[in-house]
């Protein structure tokens, strides 16, 4: 199996309007994000809004990872805690049990794959990195665990800083903003400053589509996604099968692939460096087609 190439690639996606560091150091291996990359979602929880109970056995997990890597994913994002609105709370012990089993198995079977751990708990981060994870995807932006920022800085792992208010259980009630874009930008400025003061190096920003935002606010954020380039950090877009798609189209999450690809294309045109998706093949095709437009090739 071929893992997507990393450094040394001339990219048509590079944006020269802002000085953005788009190279990640993943345990000594460098990944260039000037060409957008794909993060495949691997939910090892029965409570996911879309693929719950689908990848809970070792065989199913490894089969799905193999498919995502073959389809073009560079990162596998392992999550053991459902963050869908109103999701059931589980203990750190249960989350860690789910995540570590998957991380260890993936590391053993696919040693060249980059593994992300999707958690807001620093103790899960420590255990997962020790087991082979390379980066951290924190939906809470450090707000649910005071030790998170210090932990990722100490471990020297790249950190995905996502905007959210409250918890997955309360976020849908926290959607009132004075100025949506400014409030989220202020959040990022403050959090990035704190992380850098602690010594964190590689930071990716994620505006948090679907987290403490209404459908209308999600579309506003997508329309202004290029504004986040001013932060000088790579931007991740997590739009895959989100409610902003299926509620707008009056369909189900299972029917939202076409809508997902449409919005991922918009995100790419607005400078997204990472797409976090359930369906890797379609995201890879979108990146390839947008690159053709950018280079002017026929």
Query: Could you report the per-residue pLDDT of 171-184, keeping only the tens digit for each?
Result: 989 999 999 999 99
Catalytic annotation on 242? Answer: yes
Question: Considering the domain boundaries, does residue 5 fall inside one?
Answer: no
Name the stretches of the chain with pLDDT < 70: 1-20, 47-55, 84-87, 295-298
Q: What are phi and psi of 15, to 5 degrees?
A: -100, 120
Beta pairing class for 37-43 and 29-32: unpaired
Element (H, E) at 135: strand 135-138
Name the active-site residue from 10, 276, 281, 288. Answer: 276
Question: Considering the domain boundaries, does residue 197 fall inside one?
Answer: yes
Tally of domains within the chain: 1
Question: Considering the domain boundaries, does residue 32 fall inside one?
Answer: no
Question: Considering the domain boundaries, does residue 176 fall inside one?
Answer: yes
* Owning domain of residue 93: 37-295
Question: Considering the domain boundaries, does residue 289 fall inside one?
Answer: yes
pTM: 0.89
Beta pairing class for 23-26 and 29-32: antiparallel
Name the active-site residue from 34, 37, 165, 242. Answer: 242
Q: What are phi and psi of 292, to 5 degrees?
A: -60, -40
For residue 292, what are its two tokens? 């053709």
Asked if 204 and 121 count as a contact pair (C-beta separation under 8 A), the reply is no
CATH number at residue 209: 3.20.20.20
pLDDT above 90: percentage of residues in the chain: 79
pLDDT in tens, 229-256: 999 999 999 999 999 999 999 999 999 9
Identify the sign of the CA torsion 133, 136, 140, 144: positive
Residue tagged 């089969």 (tokens):
63
Question: Considering the domain boundaries, does residue 137 fall inside one?
Answer: yes
Question: Considering the domain boundaries, does residue 79 fall inside one?
Answer: yes
Question: Considering the domain boundaries, does residue 151 fall inside one?
Answer: yes
Q: What is the pLDDT of residue 267?
A: 98
């Amino acid at each position: 199996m071929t893992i997507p190439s990393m450094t040394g690639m001339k990219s048509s996606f590079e944006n020269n309007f802002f000085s953005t560091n788009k190279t990640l150091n993943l345990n000594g291996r460098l990944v260039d994000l000037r060409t957008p990359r794909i993060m495949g979602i691997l939910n090892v929880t029965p409570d996911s809004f879309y693929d719950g109970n689908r990848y809970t056995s070792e065989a199913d997990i490894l089969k799905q990872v193999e498919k995502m890597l073959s389809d073009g994913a560079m990162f596998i994002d392992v999550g053991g805690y459902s963050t869908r609105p109103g999701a059931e709370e589980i203990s750190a012990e249960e989350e860690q049990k789910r995540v570590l089993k998957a991380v260890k198995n993936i590391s053993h079977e696919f040693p060249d794959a980059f593994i992300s751990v999707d958690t807001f708990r620093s103790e899960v981060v420590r255990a997962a990195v020790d087991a082979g994870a390379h980066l951290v995807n924190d939906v809470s932006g450090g707000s649910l665990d005071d030790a998170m920022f210090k932990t990722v800085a100490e471990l020297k792992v790249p950190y995905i800083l996502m905007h959210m208010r409250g918890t997955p259980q309360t976020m849908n009630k926290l959607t009132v903003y004075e100025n949506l874009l400014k409030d989220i930008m202020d959040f990022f400025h403050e959090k990035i400053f704190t992380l850098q003061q602690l010594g964190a190096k590689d930071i990716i920003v994620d505006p948090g589509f679907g987290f403490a935002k209404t459908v209308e606010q999600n579309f506003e954020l997508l329309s202004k996604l290029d504004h986040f380039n001013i932060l000088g950090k790579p931007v991740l877009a997590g739009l895959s099968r989100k409610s902003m798609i299926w509620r707008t189209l009056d369909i189900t999450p299972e029917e939202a692939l076409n809508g997902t690809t449409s919005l991922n294309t918009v995100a790419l045109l607005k400078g997204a460096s990472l797409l976090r998706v359930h369906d890797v093949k379609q995201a890879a095709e979108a990146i390839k087609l947008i690159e053709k437009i950018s280079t002017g090739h026929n």
